[in-house]
Chain A
Amino acid sequence: MSAPLLQLQAAVLGWQQPCCGPLNLTLGRGEVLGLVGPNGAGKSTLLAALAGRARVFSGVLKVAPGATIVLQTQNPPPLEGLPLSGRDLLALTEASAQGLPDWLAGRLDERLDQLSGGQRHFLALWAILQSAGDLVLLDEPTNHLDAAGVAYLAAHLRERVALGAGLLLVSHDSDFVAMVCDRVLHLEAFDGL
């Protein structure tokens, strides 16, 4: 059995002060792990720690050597007022347009701030999902998406992990979590150490 892509052992995470943990989890290739829990439980903080922005106060947070990470944050990229097309956005992360849903594939040459919020969000998500990465971190990916977008995303995520990626998904959308995840980890609100 290959070593896990991501491993946390009694990891206490936070910003200036600890705000979540101790956390224990493992994530392997071809797996989707859902992280759920109340606001403030530290779900996004865990993703931020993996991105190198939040701190690990104690315990172990280990990513497999050589594994590459891609992260989609809750906040969409600031595209308002920028002369950027969908094609520009995909080129930035070297993402392919192949496989985009029809309702978006035909609008790649339009300015991004002329697309709807949902279309923009999906395209930004696609740019991250299609870029090269072994460990894919998604924070509330279904925000702003309609039912068709959510269904398309779910199918695509399964294709992505089938190719060998590991996926850590933070979401409040319980239906989506149930549809996509192999395992679900419930985080509790932090009550101090």
Chain B
Amino acid sequence: MAFDLFLLPFLTGLALAVLLPLLGCYLRLRQQWLAALAYAQMAAAGALTAAVVALPALLGGLLAASLAGLLRPLSARRLSGMAGDVLLLLAGWAASVLLVAHWPQAERLGHSLFDGQLYFAGERELGLALMALLLALLWLYRGHRGLLLAQLWPDLQRLRGQALWPSRVGFDVLVALCLAVATLGLGVMAVFALAFIPPWLAFRRQRNWRQALGYAVLLAVLAYGLAFALALSLDLPFGPVLALLLVIGAVFIA
């Protein structure tokens, strides 16, 4: 009975636990790791706004995140370093808190987005998580070399006449959309923890790119499985348990 009840949430989270560290590795490669938190926060603000105006939260989250994913690379020239990420992050956080404080429709969703209530995930959430994972895997399979080249030899793609948009705006929009789906399932900080900590450890310890991707996914899946079981058995909100486990693991491994 309990198995049936929690199977869909478990599978939803599992798909996201594979997706987020993979994207996190490429964000870290691009020195964009803070963008994970910025996009998650913007997705939360979009979902809350949608709830206030009686639209589907998912639609609001996807729209806000994709807008952030478009604006961030376009403004990168003027907002160097991580300034753009910080501005998005603060804007998303401020909007979210104000919405939760003033509109009862946003309050309940707000708790879910910030606590990370994976256990309410159903077929729709699982379908979206699997679609996001599949889309990201296809994109990375075709474009991973372009993403690495754009970082190491930015001139080479232009000289070879290869399209630049997939490794510039395209990747940001992909990440933003995937993070919006993940945020509505896992909550803002759990998403950030999965996209940041496993890649950070993998970058410190692994000798080549393929090993780093595998190591990051393995750590994330292990932490996720443990957090799921712990939070369920102790009746705790899932997001903070996962984040805490990842932090403890990071301190131990690092």
Residues of A within 8 A of B (CB): 51-53, 68-71, 73, 77-79, 81-85, 87-89, 92-93, 109-111, 128, 131
Contact = CB atoms under 8 A, between A and B. Distances in A.
Contacts of B208: 83-85, 87-88, 109, 111
Contacts of A69: 159
Contacts of A83: 202-203, 205-209, 211-212
A70 B209 contact: no
Q: Say what secondary structure dominates the interface of chain B.
A: helix
Given A53-B155, A92-B148, A92-B152, A84 B209 contact: yes
15 contacts: A51-B155, A52-B158, A71-B159, A73-B155, A78-B151, A78-B152, A83-B205, A83-B209, A83-B211, A85-B208, A88-B208, A89-B152, A92-B149, A92-B152, A111-B207
A71 B203 contact: no
Contacts of A73: 155
A52 B159 contact: yes
A93 B153 CA distance: 10
Contacts of A128: 153, 156
B152 A68 contact: no
A70 B152 CA distance: 14
Contacts of B145: 92
A110 B149 CA distance: 19
A81 B204 CA distance: 7
A81 B208 CA distance: 11
B159 A51 contact: yes
A79 B245 CA distance: 30
B203 A81 contact: yes
Nearest to B146: A92
4 residue pairs, one from A and one from B, having the closest CB atoms: A83-B212, A77-B152, A85-B208, A83-B206
Contacts of A79: 152
Interface string B182-214: 000000000000000000001101111101100
A77 B145 CA distance: 15
A93 B149 CA distance: 8
B124 interface: no
Nearest to B158: A52
Contacts of A88: 148, 208-209
B160 interface: yes
A81 B206 CA distance: 10
A81 B201 CA distance: 11
